[in-house]
Structure 1
Amino acid sequence: MKIIVTSLFVEDQDKALKFYSETLGFVKKHDVPVGEFRWITVVSPEDQQGTELVLEPNNNPTAKEYQQKLYAEGIPATMFGVENIQTEYERLKELGVKFTKEPTNAGPVTIAVFDDTCGNLIQIAQQNNLNN
């Protein structure tokens, strides 16, 4: 068994697709109309056959409340891995991304957290070499 799809609630699917593809650099894999919404997935350009991230509309009151409470508590909705967190942090800041936590050593990983402009906090993490 393996994870093939995971969802992230977003306030606006078009805005989310633009942010996740143009700003973060993910690749759109699917964009299919489903009623009043769309089935939109993005993937890593480095693993286009890998796990898909669904940009799920938060039109359900439970989904909206869940998303808002995570955000209010400062809890990231998901985490993405990066090779060099400082480089990625600087690249995203130059693109206007707002960070709520700058790169911070957390033992086995260095983490940073940013606002995705779609109602979520997203954590990025770089594995630290613990042998040094």
Structure 2
Amino acid sequence: MQIKMTSVFVDDQAKALKFYTEVLGFIKKVEVPVGEFLWLTVVSPETPDEVELVLEPNNHPAAQAYQAALKNDGIPCLSLAVKDIQAEYKRMQGLGVEFRGPPAEMGPTLATTFDDTCGNWVQMYQS
């Protein structure tokens, strides 16, 4: 059994696609119209045939409540691994990304959390 797809709720799919591709460096893999929204996925350029991240519209009231509760409580909805957290932190700061603080030790890892501009906190870590 493998994880091939997971999703993150976003308040605006176009804004999310721009952030996840232009800022985080992911690649758009699938974009298919489904009614008023899209089936929209991105992948890591390092592993384009592995896990896809669905940029899922939060148009359902339960999704909106869930997303807002996580954001308000400071809980990341997603965790992304990087090889050099200090370099990514500096690069992303230069692009105007809002971080909750600099990378800090969390057990055997360094981690920080940033705002994805689409209603979520996202954790970035280096093992």
TM-score (norm 2): 0.99
Cα shift at 1:76: 0.3
Task: Return the letter of the residue paired with 1:29.
Answer: K
Give the secondary structure class of the aligned counterpart of 1:2: coil
Q: How many pairs were matched up? A: 127
How far apart, in 1, do the equivalents of 2:106 and 2:17 lie? 30
Listed as ranges, the matches of 1:59-70 within 5 Å are: 59-70=59-70
Cα shift at 1:92: 0.3
Cα shift at 1:102: 1.4
Which residue does 1:112 correspond to in 2? 112
How far apart, in 2, do the equivalents of 1:126 and 1:25 lie? 17
**Which runs of 4 or more aligned residues in structure 1 lie more than 3 Å from their structure 2 counterparts after TM superposition?**
none
How far apart, in 1, do the equivalents of 2:44 and 2:50 lie? 8
- Alpha-carbon RMSD across the aligned residues, in angstroms, is 0.5
What are structure 1's unaligned runs of at least 5 residues?
A: 128-132
Residues 83-111 of structure 1: CA deviation (Å, up to 9, x unaligned)? 00000000000000000131001121100
Give the secondary structure class of the aligned counterpart of 2:117: coil
Which residue does 1:130 correspond to in 2? none
Report the identity percentage.
Answer: 56
What are structure 2's unaligned runs of at least 5 residues?
A: none
